[in-house]
Structure 1
Amino acid sequence: MTLQYQGEQYGKPTTFTIRIIGNNLSKSSSNYQIDLLVGDKKLPTFTSEIHQSLSNCLKEIYLFRKHNGIKFEESTEKIVSLYVPYDKVLYSHNKYALFRA
């Protein structure tokens, strides 16, 4: 599942893309890999790219955003790839970790 958000990095407007990689999101015991892209450039995150929970992936992106002056608005969310409906529900349930205060 791939999502895009409009936002800014250090005051410069840009598009942010979050890719949740793997076709195993709907399985009961999954590993999640998530990428954050600014434009077409993949940004390195703090720790391992593979996590056992989607919530942990999104927390890592939140911390990376906060540390690197990245802001994007939840209201600009756009899903830009095909997805399994359960994956959207799972992401919606866990995205609070991405947008906490």
Structure 2
Amino acid sequence: MTLQYQGEQYGNKTTFTIRIIGNNLSKSSSNYQIDLLVGDKKLPTFTTEIHQSLSNCLKEVYLFRKHNGIQFDEATEKIVSLFVPYDEVLYNYNKYALFRA
């Protein structure tokens, strides 16, 4: 699932893209990886590449945004790829971690 947001980094307007990659590596758990792109450039956001939950991935993106002057406009959210409806439901349930005050 790929989402785009309009926003700014240090006052410069840009587009932010979040790619959520869900991998079912075992029958007992799912693993998630998120890529954060500013324009076309991938940012090195993660200390670990794979997380056990989507919530943990989004928390890490939030902390990265906070320390790097990145602001998303939540109202500009746009899904730009085909997705499984379950992924959208799971993302909507967990995206509070991305938009904390």
User: Do Structure 1 and Structure 2 share a fold, with TM-score over 0.5?
Assistant: yes
Once the two structures are TM-superposed, the CA of residue 28 in structure 1 deviates from its matched residue by: 6.2
CA distance in 1 between partners of 2:36 and 2:82 (Å): 18
Aligned Cα root-mean-square deviation (Å): 1.3
Secondary structure of the corresponding residue to residue 94 of structure 2? helix
SS, match of residue 60 in structure 1: helix
Any idea what the Cα deviations from partners look like across 1:64-101, whole Å, max 9, x if unmatched?
00000000111100000000001000000000000011
- For 2:70, the equivalent position in structure 1 comes to 70
Q: Unmatched 5+ residue regions in structure 1?
A: none
CA distance in 2 between counterparts of 1:92 and 1:80 reads 15
Aligned residues: 99
Q: How does 1:44-83 map to 2 (within 5 A)?
A: 44-83=44-83
Aligned-residue sequence identity (percent) comes to 89
Runs of 4+ in 1 over 6 A off after TM superposition: none
Per the TM alignment, residue 62 of structure 1 is displaced from its structure 2 partner at its CA by 0.2
Equivalent position SS for 2:29? coil
Q: With the length of structure 1 as denominator, give the TM-score of the two structures.
A: 0.93
